[in-house]
Amino acid sequence: MNNVRLDQTIKGLAEIGLAQMVITDPATIYYLTGRWIDPGERLLALYMNSNGQNRMLINELFTVPEELGVQKVWYSDTQNAVALLAECIERDKPLGIDKNMPARFLLGLMELEAASGYKNASVCVDRVRARKDKNEAELMRRASRMNDVAIGMVAAKVREGITEEQLAAEVIAAYRCLGAEGVSFEPLIGFGANAAIGHHAPDQTVLREGDCVLIDIGCKKDGYCADMTRTYFYRSVPEKLREVYGLVQQANAAARAIIKPGVRFCDIDAAARNIIAEAGYGSFFTHRLGHSIGIEVHEYGDVSSVNENPVEEGMVFSIEPGIYLPDIGGVRIEDLVLVTANGCETLNCISRDLNIL
């Protein structure tokens, strides 16, 4: 158990009037215990109480021989795991609930009247997770360095006749070659008009001259996620997209330029969005500017117009403005940034200049 992280979470719970919480998300359990356990459909629950009576409820199939600094409550497939969890909970007090707890467990606790109330309390641990410590910052830096190398390897594979699916396979091959644990999300590859389609999955589309080549990829290394986008062009650049590219490049730079502790997420979003909107492309920038990232590729803390929270030192998030022109193409330039004491460090170091392959 990482007691610094645990204590900060307990403190956050106290601030919203809670003394106990159940966490079921494997990513948060990993963050707090250092151990990743994938329970599938079974219940894995970390029960925390400010009185120190913490428990880890775990199916005996998932061998965790080491001490985790928390007492384990083992159960078998023929036992009622939710009832065992309910026995750990103080019934006369409200209970913090993990935002990702599956309904079958939450409704089960409610039926057993396990607590006096139920509140989504994930923000108490998510705020701690959002501020990466030095070790985490270094892991994120390394994952992004690996991602930088990988995108170079992938760009080198762009050739006449290649399909999006084939290029996506090159991403996986590059990650394996570099020693990544895997992907933080399935590679998004879009050629030409496909690059204008939100969350387009790579298909059999063949590359043609004048296509933009949008590559949005992330590896996972030592438990932490990378995520970046570069948009290349194949052999030539349609004039419309050249203009768009310059705007997106400016928007990316403008947003990164204003980041420092105390600046609000929504103002960072606006710094990029205003440039695009003023040029008349506002309605073609169809998503938030970015998202926080760490153990998971999307973590608490959107970089969006509705998030008025200030950024803090240690936070890591993406800056990914984009302009998408239906039937023509799309451009997105995405970097991860780490908030420092006076500004930010951009974790991706590969050029953002227009690049014709």
- CB under 8 A: which stretch of 203-211, 270-278, 302-310, 343-351 binds a copy of itself? 302-310
Q: 8-11: long-range contacts (C-beta < 8 A, 24 or more apart)?
A: 8/128, 9/48, 9/124, 9/125, 9/128, 10/48, 10/50
The one among 63, 135, 204, 342 contacting a copy of itself by CB under 8 A: 63
Residues 6+ apart with CB under 8 A from 41: none
In 3D space, the residue among 322, 319, 251 whose CA is nearest the CA of residue 285 turns out to be 322
Of 3, 4, 16, 102, the residue at the interface with a copy of itself (CB under 8 A) is 102
From the list 132, 141, 200, 256, which residue makes contact with a copy of itself (rule: CB under 8 A)? 200
For the segment 107-146, give every residue that binds a copy of itself (CB under 8 A). 107-108, 118-120, 122
Among 45, 54, 98, 226, interactor with a copy of itself by CB under 8 A: 98
Taking residues 23 to 52 in sequence order and writing x for each that binds a copy of itself by CB under 8 A, - otherwise, the string is: -----------------xx-----------
Confirm or reject binding of residue 316 to a copy of itself (CB under 8 A).
no
Q: How far is the CB of 141 from a copy of itself (least distance, A)?
A: 24
Residue from 106, 212, 219, 259 in contact with a copy of itself (CB under 8 A): 106
Does 72 help bind a copy of itself (rule: CB under 8 A)?
no
- Interface with a copy of itself by CB under 8 A: which range of 44-52, 140-148, 154-162, 299-307? 299-307
Interaction between residue 78 and a copy of itself (CB under 8 A): yes
| From candidates 1, 19, 34, 62, binder to a copy of itself by CB under 8 A | 62
Tokens of 329: 């193409």
Q: Which residues lie below 8 Å from residue 252, measured CB to CB, with a gap of 6+?
A: 272, 319, 320, 321, 333, 334, 335, 352
Distances 58 to 20, 80, 96, 206 between C-alpha atoms, Å: 18, 12, 19, 48
Q: Establish if 198 lies at the interface with a copy of itself (CB under 8 A).
A: yes
Least separation in angstroms between residue 311's CB and a copy of itself is 18
Residue type at position 16? I
Nearest residue to 328 via CA among 247, 251, 233, 235: 233
Cβ–Cβ contacts within 10 Å for residue 179, how many? 10
Number of Cβ atoms within 10 Å of the Cβ of 114: 21
Q: Does 97 bind a copy of itself (CB under 8 A)?
A: yes
Query: According to CB under 8 A, which one of 50, 166, 250, 304 is a site residue for a copy of itself?
Result: 304
Q: How far is CA 80 from CA 25, 62, 116, 118, 236, in A?
A: 19, 17, 21, 21, 63
Rule CB under 8 A: choose which of 3, 14, 60, 246 binds a copy of itself.
60
CA distances from 156 to 85, 108, 152, 357 (A): 53, 53, 6, 8
Residues within the interface to a copy of itself (CB under 8 A): 40-41, 60-63, 76-78, 97-104, 106-108, 118-120, 122, 197-200, 286-288, 298, 302, 304-306
